[in-house]
Each structure stands twice: as structure tokens, then as C-alpha cells.
Amino acid sequence: MNCSRPGQFYGKANETLFLNGVILNDAVYTHDRVDWHYHENSYFTFLLEGMVLDGNKKHVHECAAGSLLYQNWQDPHYNVGSKVFTRGFHVEIAPTWYSFFDLPVGLLEGSIRIQDPSLKTLMYNVFKETKLYNGSSQLAIDALLVQLLSGLVTEKNRHDKQVPAWVGKVKEALHAAPESWSLTELATLANLHPVHLSRQFPKYFKTTLGDYVRMIRVQKALSLFPDRNRSLTEIAVECGFADQSHFIRCFRSCYQLTPLQYRKLLLKSSTR
């Protein structure tokens, strides 16, 4: 089985940034299929555009724009491309980086599909810092990655404990159509009183119901940014924002940039 060496990814690189213990790579996927292989280091794959299938011994992940995967360095997997233009952002983490922060290299095991919008927000910010790179960016990137990995460990520990059935139902409903639900409708779905749902929601989702929905909407918008045929106004409406100013306020609260500024960062390195 092939082993991918540090900095080796399958595709055409738009940009690769080598930092102390971290390699950040923005690449276009050019292979119809990549057979079974594993990577020398653990890494994140963050799909920016298009679609790809990622399979391992336990799961097959159908990934679209906005999908985020963590792969342990020991975990073999394969990829199947699609006929549409596909671009990914990869963050490869060497064992030395873990040692800098007294973290075990085996902090996480296997392949993990990350759906928590607060964790995805951290990765979108890693991408932003990479595109805005200057001499002090390693500090920001390191801090975001430590927070992301710590959050993944917390999320895994939470999943290992029994959670109420309503949590899964509400999460699935919000991710499928975040703009379609009222509090009363969600409470009916969860078979809870609206007051009880509002109080219990932060316990299992680490934020308020309103902030959770806003993060999902903003990230849905981000997944549409690469489509040059859509204006930001059209994207805002499609994602459930009342108007452009509402969209801008919500977006800036997550990424400290306007949607237009972030979209320019996303598109400037694309070789479509």
C-alpha cells in the first residue's frame, strides 16, 4: 500500500505553505480514482468546491463543498473523483507539532467526519489565515488547530456518552433545512416544550439555538461562494438571511471579514 509522504497530495497544487510542523495545501483534484493509501502524518481534508468520495474500512463519505474530514496517519483510505471541478484544502500535522503543545500524536483515532458548525468555523478561519499569511500567521493557525483538535476530543467524548434521542433529530433537521424551522416546530419534533428545548440546547450543541442556525446558514453560503454565477445577494437570500446587511453582520461575527472579502480570498487561488 502506498504511503503519502509529508506534503504529498494527489492533484494540482494551487498553493502549499510549509510552517513549523504544519503543511497547508490548496489543490485541485485531478485523479478519477486514488487507490488505497495512507499518509505519514495526520491531516484534515476540507472540500472547497465540487464532490469527492472518501472511503475507508468502516465508512464511505460522500463529500461536497464544505465537508470536513480528519484522517489519522495510520488510517488507510481511497478516493473516487467526480466529473465536476473539485478543490480541497489540506492541513497536515507532523508529530513534532503535537509535541510542541504536549499533545499525544494518537490524540484521535480513525477517520472522522466533522459536522459541528463551530468546528468548521475554525477550519474556515485556518483557510483565511493561510490566504492572508504573513510572518505572524503561524501563531494564529496553531491556536486555531489546538482549539479544533481539543473540540474534536470533546465531541468524541460526548458521543461516547448516551445523549437523548431528540438531539440527533434536531441536528439532522437543522442541517437539512436551517431556514425552515420555528422554535415551536422544532420542539414538536423533539417532543419537548419550547422552553425546555431552548434551555437544553446549549448543553448538547455548545451554543444557543440561534447561533447554531446562523453558523449553518453562513457555512451553506460559503459552500456556494465558488459559484461565480451567483451574486452574494442571491446567496444570502437562498441561505435564509433577511437582507444583505443581516448576512454581512452574521458573516463578520464568524470570520472578521465581509462576505465579499472572504469570497475574493477563496477565488483568487482557484485555477478553474
Q: What is the mean pLDDT of each run of 10 residues along the chain (272 residues)?
A: 80 91 94 88 94 90 94 87 92 95 87 93 96 88 96 80 89 89 94 95 92 95 94 94 93 95 87 62
* Number of C-beta neighbours around residue 1 at 10 A: 7
Q: Looking up cell 478519477, which residue turns up?
A: 32
pLDDT number for residue 258:
96
Q: What is the pLDDT of residue 57?
A: 86
**3-class DSSP state for residue 79?**
strand
Query: HSE on the CB side for 198, CA within 13 Å?
Result: 8
Which of 178, 158, 161 lies closest to 170 in space, CA to CA?
178
Contact indicator for 52, 82 with CB cutoff of 8 Å: yes
| Residues constituting the chain | 272
- Which residue's entry shows cell 468555523? 121
Angle between helical axes of 165-176 and 209-224 (0-180°, round to 10): 40
CB 69 within 8 A of CB 114: yes
Q: For residue 128, which phi and psi values (nearest 5 degrees)?
A: -60, -50
User: Which positions ≥6 away from 264 have C-beta within 8 Å?
Assistant: none
Instruction: Tell me what pLDDT residue 234 has.
Output: 95
End-to-end Cα spacing for the chain: 31
Count of alpha carbons within 13 angstroms of residue 218, beta-carbon side: 27
The CA distance from 60 to 54, in Å, is 6
Nine cell digits for residue 142: 496553531
Place of cell 472511503: 55
What pLDDT, on a 0 to 100 scale, did the predictor assign at position 272? 62
40, 73 contact by CB (below 8 A): yes
Find, among 47, 163, 168, 200, the residue nearest to 113 by Cα: 47
Dihedral angle at the C-alpha atoms of 226, 228, 229, 234, nearest 10 degrees? 70
Supply the pLDDT for residue 8: 80
Identify the H or E element spanning 120.
helix 117-131
Q: What is the pLDDT of residue 76?
A: 87
In order of their start, the domains of the chain are 2-160 (2.60.120.10), 165-268 (1.10.10.60)
